[in-house]
Structure 1
Amino acid sequence: MMWKRIFATSAATLTLLGGSMLATAAPAQADGTCPSNALCIWDSTSFGGLRILTRSTNTCFNMGKFDFGYIRSYDNNLSVNGYVHNYAGSGVWYQARTLPAGGFSSDIGVPGLGGLAEDWVCMGSADLSDFVY
């Protein structure tokens, strides 16, 4: 009889312990709060601060047109890559970062990315030269 009581108590304790772990476990969140079929970029880490959202898959936009800091985090739910182009001066841009299709980062770790008025983000096969020259 004693063994039955010990076994039942141990089983109940393990069940409660397991249940409490499941109840307190935080839900997994792989990326930010960006709708499907959109690219979102934020000017703070962890998908915070101001957000720019685009659903276009073949255009470029000038970062200087927005009241926005630097690109600090992103979530790309589009089927195409996004490309960040920084202005190097004298009419020259260089591709500074790829925001891969389906990719995200809560902290890209690149200081000053997209922060100049001349910096651009292009989606898919859009050609930057079609927009800046």
Structure 2
Amino acid sequence: MNLRRKIAVLVSTLALSVSGGVLAAPPAAADEPCASTKLCLYRSTLFRTMELSTGSVSNCWWLEDYNLGDSWSGIKSYRNNLGVKATIWYYDFGSTRWEPSARATIGVGGFSSDTTYGNHAFAEAEAVCTGSATPQVYL
């Protein structure tokens, strides 16, 4: 093989390996799948940064424990693949104590890739309950 042909083969090989490396790079942000029997709550839009995933059909969770409370900017996206609704709760000061107030409901099969527009209930959420469960009252 002459020198020109060797250089051409070398340049071609390098070009293919560089472009192959670029094509094989993983995407910057991928949506995190939610199992078909779960409620999934995400700290980011577009179903990224899943913080809570549950298959329980009658329970409550304090969102601060999952980096989803209002000090963390709340729930940014969600999927409800459970067979029951999920209710978003906030605490209001009642006549003599803090009382839970239902702010939003996520129906069966409900989802949103971005809750930041028009509904502050997800930004101010303090608890989420599935089915008919309700959070305890602060005394």
Give the TM-score range, shorter chain: 0.5 to 0.7
Does structure 1 conserve the Cα–Cα contact (< 8 Å) formed by 2:42 and 2:49? yes
TM-score normalized by the length of structure 1 = 0.65
Inter-partner Cα distance in structure 2 for 1:64 and 1:115: 11
Structure 1 residue 81 displacement after superposition: 0.3
Q: Confirm or deny: 8 A CA contact 1:32 1:47 kept in the other structure.
A: yes
2:112 matches 1:105? yes
1:82 and 2:86 equivalent? Answer: yes
**How far did residue 112 of structure 1 move?**
6.3
Quickly say closer, same or farther: Cα 1:52–1:66, change in 2 above 3 A.
same
**TM-score, normalised to structure 2's length?**
0.62
Tell me how many residue pairs correspond in the alignment: 100
1:66 aligns with 2:61: no
Counterparts of 1:64 and 1:74 in 2: how far apart (Å)? Answer: 16
The Cα shift of 1:33 comes to: 1.4
Rounded Cα–Cα distance in structure 2 between residues aligned with 1:81 and 1:112: 16
Unpaired segments of 5 or more residues in structure 2? 1-30
Judge conservation of contact 2:51–2:67 (CA < 8 Å) in 1: no
Percent identity (aligned): 31
User: Secondary structure of 2:64's match?
Assistant: helix
Which of 124, 130, 134 pairs up with 1:127?
134
1:32–1:77 distance in 2 versus 1, CA, 3 Å: farther
Alpha-carbon distance between aligned partners in 1 of 2:62 and 2:123, rounded to the nearest angstrom: 9
| Displacement after TM superposition at 1:126 (Å) | 1.1
The CA deviation at 1:83 is 0.2
The 3 A distance-change label for structure 1 pair 114 and 61 is farther
Matches of 2:38 and 2:32 in 1, distance apart? 12
Q: 2-side partners of 1:114 and 1:62: how far apart?
A: 14
Change (3 A) 1:52 1:44: same
Counterpart of 2:51 in structure 1 is 51
